[in-house]
Amino acid sequence: MAEFVYFQKEIETLPESKLKALQLERLQRLAAYVQQKVPFYQKAFAASHLEPDRISSLNDLRYFPLTSKAALRDHYPFGLFALPLNQVVELHASSGTTGKMTVVGYSAADIKLWSTVMARSLACAGVVKGDIVHNAYGYGLFTGGLGIHFGALELGVTVVPASSGQTRRQLDLMADFKSTVLTCTPSYSLYVAEEARNYGLDPLSFSLRVGVFGAEPWSEGMRKQIEKEWGLLALDIYGLSEIIGPGVAMECPGQEGLHIWADHFLPEVIDPKTGEPLEEGQEGELVITTLTKEALPLIRYRTGDIVTLTTERCPHCERTMPRISKILGRIDDMLIIRGINVFPSQIESVLLKIPEVAPHYQLVVTREHHLDRLEVQVEVSPEVFSDEVKKLEELQQRVLSEIESTLGISVTVKLVEPKSIERSQGKAKRVIDQRQI
Partner 1 sequence: MPIRQVSIFLENRLGRLSEVVSLLAKNSINIRALALADKADYGILRLIVNDTDRALEILRQELFSVNETPVLAVEVDDRPGGLAEVLAILVQNSINVEYMYAFVAKSGGKAVVVLRVEDLEKAERVLSYNERKLLREEEIQGL
> How near is the Cβ of 349 to partner 1 at its closest, in Å?
24
Return the number of the residue (61 or 384) whose C-beta is nearest partner 1. Answer: 384
Rg (CA), the chain: 23
Do 310 and 323 form a contact (C-beta atoms < 8 A)? yes
> How near is the Cβ of 400 to partner 1 at its closest, in Å?
12
Return the number of the residue (353 or 419) whose C-beta is nearest partner 1. Answer: 419
Report the phi/psi class of residue 126: left, alpha or beta, with left for phi > 0 and alpha for psi in -120 to 50. left
> How near is the Cβ of 366 to partner 1 at its closest, in Å?
15
Long-range contacts from 351-356, C-beta under 8 angstroms, 24+ separation? 351/378, 351/399, 353/402, 354/395, 354/398, 354/399, 354/402, 356/383, 356/384, 356/395
> How near is the Cβ of 379 to partner 1 at its closest, in Å?
8
- 145 closest CA partner among 155, 131, 154, 134: 134
Written as one letter, the residue type at 4 is F
Helix (H, G, I), strand (E, B) or coil at 131: coil
Q: Which residues bind partner 1 (CB under 8 A)?
A: 380-382, 384-389, 392-393, 414-420
End-to-end CA distance of the chain: 28
> How near is the Cβ of 425 to partner 1 at its closest, in Å?
19
Return the number of the residue (410 or 420) whose C-beta is nearest partner 1. Answer: 420
Return the number of the residue (18 or 419) whose C-beta is nearest partner 1. Answer: 419
Is the backbone peptide bond immediately before 203 cis, with ω within 30 degrees of 0? no
Q: Concatenated DSSP letters for 87-107?
A: G--EEEEEE-TTSSEEEEEE-
Return the number of the residue (77 or 418) whose C-beta is nearest partner 1. Answer: 418
Return the number of the residue (1 or 389) whose C-beta is nearest partner 1. Answer: 389
> How near is the Cβ of 415 to partner 1 at its closest, in Å?
5
